[in-house]
Structure 1
Amino acid sequence: MKNTVLNILVCSVFLTITAKAQHTMKTNDVTQIAPEVIFTKMLNTPEIKNQEVKLVIVTFAPGEISGAHRHPIPTIVYVLEGSIETTFDGKVTRLKQGDTFWEDPNGLHTEAKNLSPDKPAKLLVYFIGDKEKPFLIPEKK
């Protein structure tokens, strides 16, 4: 009985922390799973001044369609797993594992759709820009 109560308590704490972390991230209005920043570095060299680089993993649940959004900084996408269909500034593009995609700053990314009904799709996204600029802004509804 003690083990069961302890397991329930541990799971409850974990779920509370996870829910709070997802709730505080402002970008979770775009995909079901909040983007995961896996690398951040400030660049301050003679050639590149005060720019921040971010690598972000974006995961799409099976069949998921993202909400409309913009990236105020240059964006490069690499498809790690699965295939997606993306609509950026009115142009529809299909991407599969190993494909890349460029997004100009502030363009309207109407949606991205995971084409698989039963497998997730994962993207590695590279951002570079001013540190104070967010990498993702959900489009107002």
Structure 2
Amino acid sequence: MKALLISILFLFMLDPGRVRVENHHPQNDKINETYLLKKLLNQPGINNKEVQMLVVTFPPASVSKAHRHPFPTFDYLLEGELESTFEGKTNHYKPGDSFYEKPNGLHAVTKNTSPNKAAKLLVFYIAEKNKPTIVPEKIK
């Protein structure tokens, strides 16, 4: 995990002027994403891929509605605690926990289990350029 974080920080140092804040959680306006890096990769084997690194902040007791990410997603919990149901399996994450989410896997729910402390999740995407990072799940 240290090697991944060092690689991410190295990429950030290559282009540090790319910090911005966006909100891609239309179902819950309180959950906030702060992008640390967004860089297009045009190298053999990974043409037209965009590396995105962001911190997702979950306010106390917040809940994200069902959604999918259409590409590989790597996560590292910085602060707080999260409970996430991914592909039917519920996991509890604490600071220092890392996990991988396969492309298009269903996040039925992700919630901050604390009633009074925010949770911060470092997320690393290898995305398609100009494609949405979150696809809301249609309720049947």
**Shorter-chain TM band:** 0.7 to 0.9
Gaps of 5+ in 2: 1-20
CA contact (8 A) 2:55 2:121 kept: yes
Which amino acid in 2 is paired with 1:138?
P
The CA RMSD measured in Å over matched residues stands at 1.8
Q: Are 1:38 and 2:36 counterparts?
A: yes
Which 4+ residue blocks in structure 1 deviate beyond 6 angstroms? none
**Structure 1 residues 133 and 48: CA distance shift in structure 2, 3 A:** same
Gaps of 5+ in 1: 1-20
Bigger radius of gyration: 1
What is the percent sequence identity of the aligned residues? 48
**Structure 1 residues 77 and 26: CA distance shift in structure 2, 3 A:** closer
Tell me the distance in 2 between the aligned counterparts of 1:139 and 1:66: 11
CA contact (8 A) 1:31 1:60 kept: no
- Aligned pair count reads 119
Deviation at 1:130, TM superposition (A): 1.4
Aligned to 1:135: 133
Deviation at 1:30, TM superposition (A): 4.3
Aligned to 2:13: none
- TM-score, normalized by length of structure 2? 0.77
CA contact (8 A) 1:30 1:138 kept: no
Alignment partner of 1:111 out of 85, 109, 112: 109
- TM-score, normalized by length of structure 1? 0.77
Aligned to 2:67: 69
Aligned to 2:98: 100
**Structure 1 residues 126 and 99: CA distance shift in structure 2, 3 A:** same
Name whichever structure is richer in helix by fraction: 1
Tell me the distance in 2 between the aligned counterparts of 1:77 and 1:124: 6
Aligned to 2:47: 49
Which amino acid in 2 is paired with 1:117?
P
Deviation at 1:49, TM superposition (A): 1.4
Which amino acid in 2 is paired with 1:78?
Y
